[in-house]
Amino acid sequence: MAGIFDRFANVKTQRAAIVSNGGPDPFNVRMDQVLSQTEAIIGNRRTILCGTNNSLGLTFAPEALKAAHDALDDFGTGTTGSRMLNGTYSGHKELEYALCDFFQKDHAIVFSTGFLANAGVLSTLMGPGDYIIMDADCHASIYDGVRQSQAEIIRFKHNDAADLDKRLARLADKPGNKLIVIEGIYSMLGDKAPLAEIVAIKKKYANTYLLSDEAHSMGVLGRYGRGLPEEVGCEEDVDFIVGTFSKSVGTVGGFVVSSYPDFEMLRYVCRAYIFTASLPPSVVASAKVNLGLVKNGGALRTRLMRNAKMLHKGLVDAGLKVASDISPVVAVVAPDPQTCVAFWQGLIEAGVYVNLAFPPATPHGYSLLRCSLCAAHTEEQIKQVIGIFTEVAGKLGLLEETKRVAVG
């Protein structure tokens, strides 16, 4: 007789293989004590954190901590309701006003997570007879959102503007709205979208709109940290910007901003907004404060990119294959999943934490050791990380192998 979990047998087998050698489990890491933005105690060991997405290191910003404590005292630990009912406090509206000011848009809606922001907006914005044309490497939250919509879904090749143009040309005579969906910086490999080319293509076709997920580029790109649209100089051409507070802003939550006059109607039709409890006041207060720090964080962005360049160069010079150009996301490619697990276990046992990522979540079938840099990482920490990567790779016999893969 079939069991209810039988369809996950393959996942069970894969997980068993990951932990079969008795080493640490990459998907059950426990941080027993967080020492700073860049260090924690993991397995009774002081560990450098290189996989937290804490890009600007704002999780311990004193101003944000004070605001969060004050909000706890004034409003309690939670709202116990959705935004549509009793879950909108003064802080939620103030945060939305701050987002409008930050992005120079007319409207902002805050969601409880970045995943819900993507899933909610994409499942609601487009309907029957519409088309969503999305980059093939988009995040899982985007995939879930478009699948819940009733629009026709069309994928174009990753970062291939010509392929996007070809697919839109086929839809040119069809009625219905078309929505292009991309990311500013893609989460797995850290590569940027060719936004200027995509905007030029969008302008060629009627009833065509553009949504960009700026989760990993907000706070990182642009003079004021508004992401790839600001860096490229085409903010007015991006119709909807989705983002999260769980990266550069250093807390949790999601949002979408736009200047469309009827945009506020989403509050009345978006299930992920209507039926989800709203963010706790302490989280909202810290997000608002840190948003101001992001805006004025030019020095932090400079330090972040300095660290990214240093780590990227060090790993490449050591003979490791890094999957993309210089970015706060630095992804090292391992030859296969088994070797990748052994590599990860060697790193964590030596005091470096990174993310482990496998297909189908990764592009090109890559097995990845994914680093995400922080502005608070010191030069000495980056040197330690490079040294530990090199040492572990050498023990696994990977340095010559990765060089061969890189040119093969």
Q: What is the pLDDT along the chain (408 residues), one digit of tens a residue?
A: 778 999 999 888 888 888 777 788 888 999 999 999 999 999 999 999 999 999 999 999 999 999 999 999 999 999 999 999 999 999 999 999 999 999 999 999 999 999 999 999 999 999 999 999 999 999 999 999 999 999 999 999 999 999 999 999 999 999 999 999 999 999 999 999 999 999 999 999 999 999 999 999 999 999 999 999 999 999 999 999 999 999 999 999 999 999 999 999 999 999 999 999 999 999 999 999 999 999 999 999 999 999 999 999 999 999 999 998 899 999 999 999 999 999 999 999 999 999 999 888 898 899 999 999 999 999 999 999 999 999 999 999 988 655 544 433
Token couple for 389: 């990567």
What residues are annotated to the active site?
A: 187, 216, 247
Positions of CATH 3.90.1150.10 in the chain? 8-56+298-407
The pLDDT of residue 11: 87
Question: Residue 319 and residue 300: Cα distance in Å, rounded?
Answer: 29
Q: Torsion angle of alpha carbons 231, 316, 370, 50, nearest 10°?
A: -90
Positions of CATH 3.40.640.10 in the chain? 61-295
CATH fold for the domain made of 8-56+298-407 = Aspartate Aminotransferase, domain 1 (3.90.1150)
Q: Amino acid letter at 224? A: Y
Q: How many residues does the chain have?
A: 408
CATH fold for the domain made of 61-295 = Aspartate Aminotransferase; domain 2 (3.40.640)
Token couple for 95: 């945060």
For residues 340 and 389, is the Cβ–Cβ distance under 8 A? no
The pLDDT of residue 400: 60
Report the DSSP beta bridge partners of residue 332.
322, 369
Report the DSSP pairing between strands 208-213 and 240-244. Answer: parallel
Closest of 323, 209, 300, 313 to residue 256, by C-alpha: 209
Token couple for 124: 């609601």
